[in-house]
Amino acid sequence: MARPRRFPAGLELPPFKSGPMGRPILAAAAPSLATLALDQGNGIAAQPVVVVGDRVRVGSLVARSEGDFGVDVHATVAGTVRSLEVRPVPGAAATSPCLVIENDWTDDREDASTPLDWQATTPADLLARIRSAGIAGLGGAAFATHAKLEAARDAKVSHLVLNGAECEPWICCDDALMRERAADVVLGARVMQRVVDAERVTIAIEDDKPEAITAVEAALAATDHHGLALAVVPAVFPAGAERQLLASVTGIEVPGDAWPPAVGLLCQNVGTAAAVARVVTSGEPLTRRIVTVTGSAIAAPANVEARLGTPIADLIEACGGYRGEPLRLIAGGSMTGRALPSDDAPVTQALNCVVVATAADLAVHGSEMPCIRCGDCASVCPAGLLPQSLLRAVASADAQGLVRLGLADCIECGCCDYVCPSRIPLTARFVAARRERRLRLDQERRAARARERYAGHERRLAAGAEAERREFEEARRRARGDGQS
């Protein structure tokens, strides 16, 4: 078992995970109405292949991705498509087109394929199976799994790292998965290793998860795990951030303007690996995931396995309902999570945790004060940035300074906010600045394309005018020649 070096900076935070981890994974009942977001969390919406009134079965394809980076969406209940409408969803997008399916309680299922002999199946066919199963990264970003695997295969990566660090406070769905289904994680790792032809696979787990470590060790011992290893990383936030984890496990830093495959690495979540395992063992598309439901306003916190499209209210009910009056619902952990407007929002592939928080769970934020240049934010920044300098560049709209200071490398982890004695919402300022920069660059690209189109139009007009002039001169010459003869 390897013990990688600790990446610099970061925070040692209270985990707040003992409540859910005191119980086994709960299975939530199927919802009466499944609200399936066509954008499962990566910003790319699939296109419906069903219409209102169609009957679907569990596992039926209901929306297909048209691009390389989206994911297909499958029905999670059997029943009738009731509507297609825009609804609130967890995540940065806040809303998404959604298919609403009314459950008829038959639980009819698409014919599942027989177990796949994945070791005898070509990598290309395995990749096609993973794509058709609609699997996206279950760590929170929901990036299309097939796209990452294909990029890694094309780049001939040598090292696949499975992320089981789960460093964010409150979130413990991956810990529960590894404790109870470590064999699925290891099988999924082996399948993805075959797809990308990686020489090495490392399953990285934080050192505050001894039960998960023991379970994965046992699963590795029980299988032919050529090239697979376990690495224990320090329980420091944000040890589970992709670039920080890869640096910790491999010693290789991914450049800010590159993807991990560019340096021979690939990172996937352990939950994603388990979903891949289900594809080869049962042919099951991604229709469910584990969600941590926790917080002081929950009667019995637990990790709940729920079908995609299940209202968050149903998960809360499965955990005994509310205890007292919640102050806030948060999708994700306390550091990088986003507030939810209500518990009507559905479970998506990107939803790994719901914190039902009271005032006791939330940090007290007073009035913002001027920066005192203490440097605490720089000392904890896992990306090695200077947040106080970035703040000045944001305030002065210094676009060149933001580029020079590495704004693009900010991972929006919130460490600088956490330690700032002046209570400055640094991360929010940086997120806004990055959004403005993206918009500005997009406008510049649009303007450049418009100028190019205009210049092309002018060139075509000039060429046409020149052709007309030559034709006119040629006609005059012919006319003069005819007159002389």
Q: What is the pLDDT of residue 141?
A: 82
Give CA–CA dist 161/139, Å, rounded: 13
Q: What is the pLDDT of residue 463?
A: 87
**Percentage helix, strand, coil, to 5, in the chain?**
40, 20, 45
Give CA–CA dist 200/193, Å, rounded: 8
Distant-in-sequence, close-in-space partners of 469: CB < 8 Å, separation ≥ 6: none
Based on the structure, what is the number of domains in the chain? Answer: 3
Q: What is the pLDDT of residue 69?
A: 87
Angle of helix 182-196 relative to helix 123-132, nearest 10 degrees? Answer: 120
The answer to whether residue 9 sits within a structural domain is no
Q: What is the CATH number of the domain that holds 77?
A: 3.40.50.11540
CA count, 13 A, side-chain hemisphere, 255: 6
Q: Are residues 250 and 312 in the same domain?
A: no
What DSSP string describes 244-306? HHHHHHHS-PPPTTS-GGGGTEEEEEHHHHHHHHHHHHH---S-EEEEEEESTTBSS-EEEEE
Q: What is the pLDDT of residue 485?
A: 44
Q: What is the pLDDT of residue 236?
A: 93
Give φ, ψ of 74 to 5 degrees: -120, 150
Instruction: Name the residue range of residue 314's domain.
Output: 291-361
pLDDT (tens, 9 = 90+) of the chain, 485 residues, equals: 555 556 668 899 999 999 999 999 999 999 999 999 999 888 889 999 999 999 999 999 999 998 888 899 999 999 999 999 999 999 877 899 999 999 999 999 987 667 889 999 999 999 999 999 999 999 988 899 999 999 999 999 999 999 999 999 999 999 999 999 999 999 999 999 999 999 999 999 999 999 999 999 999 999 987 899 999 999 999 999 999 999 999 999 998 888 999 999 999 999 999 999 999 999 999 999 999 999 999 999 999 999 999 999 999 999 999 998 888 999 999 999 999 989 999 999 999 999 999 988 887 777 899 999 999 999 999 999 999 999 999 999 999 999 999 999 999 999 999 999 999 999 999 999 988 988 888 888 889 888 889 898 888 888 888 888 888 888 888 888 754 44
Q: What is the pLDDT of residue 327?
A: 87
Give CA–CA dist 458/134, Å, rounded: 47
Domain boundary among 361, 391, 418: 361
The answer to whether residue 11 sits within a structural domain is no
Strand partners, 55: 80
Model-level pTM greater than 0.85? yes
* C-alpha distances out from residue 7 to 13, 240, 375, Å: 16, 11, 19
Q: Are residues 178 and 229 in the same domain?
A: yes
* C-alpha distances out from residue 12 to 167, 168, 357, Å: 9, 10, 21
Residue 71 and residue 86 in contact, taking contact as beta carbons nearer than 8 Å: no
Residue 411 and residue 335 in contact, taking contact as beta carbons nearer than 8 Å: no
The answer to whether residue 4 sits within a structural domain is no
| Among 278, 272, 286, CA closest to 242 | 272
Domain boundary among 259, 289, 319: 289
Q: What is the pLDDT of residue 326?
A: 87
The answer to whether residue 7 sits within a structural domain is no
The answer to whether residue 237 sits within a structural domain is yes
In this structure, which amino acid lies at residue 224?
A: D
Q: Are residues 456 and 330 in the same domain?
A: no
Q: Are residues 405 and 297 in the same domain?
A: no
Q: Are residues 250 and 339 in the same domain?
A: no
The answer to whether residue 10 sits within a structural domain is no
Q: Are residues 249 and 327 in the same domain?
A: no
Q: What is the pLDDT of residue 43?
A: 82
Q: Are residues 77 and 192 in the same domain?
A: yes
> Does the CA dihedral 146-281-351-171 come out positive or negative?
negative
Q: What is the CATH number of the domain that holds 329?
A: 3.10.20.600
Domain boundary among 309, 343, 361: 361
Q: Are residues 206 and 232 in the same domain?
A: yes
Give CA–CA dist 241/244, Å, rounded: 5
* C-alpha distances out from residue 184 to 97, 232, 277, 304, Å: 32, 19, 6, 17
The answer to whether residue 13 sits within a structural domain is no
Q: Are residues 195 and 272 in the same domain?
A: yes
> Does the CA dihedral 176-181-182-185 come out positive or negative?
negative
Q: Are residues 175 and 50 in the same domain?
A: yes
Residue 240 and residue 163 in contact, taking contact as beta carbons nearer than 8 Å: yes
Q: Are residues 322 and 379 in the same domain?
A: no
Q: Are residues 120 and 159 in the same domain?
A: yes
* C-alpha distances out from residue 206 to 101, 178, 210, 239, 360, Å: 39, 12, 9, 8, 26
The answer to whether residue 81 sits within a structural domain is yes
Q: Take residue 24 and report the two structure tokens written for it.
A: 């086994």
